[in-house]
Amino acid sequence: MKTKINQELRQINGKPLQEGDQAKPETLKTITLKDILLTVALSTSKEDKEHELEDFQLCVKLQNVTTELDLDNKEASRLQEKLSGKYPILIVGQVNAILEGKENPIKEAKK
């Protein structure tokens, strides 16, 4: 399944999800699907020991992609499994929908 890796994640109101200091707009960075997937792939827990090599290969694949990510079902499932419990439901819901080949369920805010 091919997915646009640089999709912006959104707040519930449809505005871009950002990290940084709100008081200093120059520090704000919009969070993308790639940001979340790379962080998830790099995360480890005791249960991940048997998947270390495949997780590393997934990290390299994510790091090297620039526009469109091609994941097989096993890779997408692995990322979904690792994502659960690590992020708030706002992020988990969006990422899971995208990894399942759907559009982001939170529509972009009208400008």
Asked if residue 92 is part of any domain, the answer here is: yes
Please tell me which residue, 49 or 96, carries the higher pLDDT value.
96
* Residue corresponding to tokens 């369920």: 105
As a whole number, mean pLDDT of residues 62-77 equals 93
Say which amino acid occupies 99.
L
The CA distance from 22 to 48, in Å, is 35
Which of 15, 28, 14, 35 has the alpha carbon at shortest distance from 83? 35
Tens-digit pLDDT profile for residues 31-45: 999 999 999 999 887
**Using an 8 Å Cβ cutoff, are 77 and 101 in contact?**
no
Structure-block tokens of residue 50: 């048997």
Q: Which domain holds residue 46?
A: 2-99
Q: What is the mean pLDDT of the chain?
A: 91
- Does residue 7 fall inside a structural domain? yes
Domain contains 81 = yes
pLDDT confidence of residue 27 = 87
What is the total count of domains within the chain?
1
Q: What is the pTM of this model?
A: 0.88
Interstrand relation of 18-19 and 29-30 (parallel, antiparallel or unpaired): antiparallel
Position 76 scores a pLDDT of 93
pLDDT grade, residue 58 (50/70/90)?
A: very high
In a domain, 110, yes or no: no
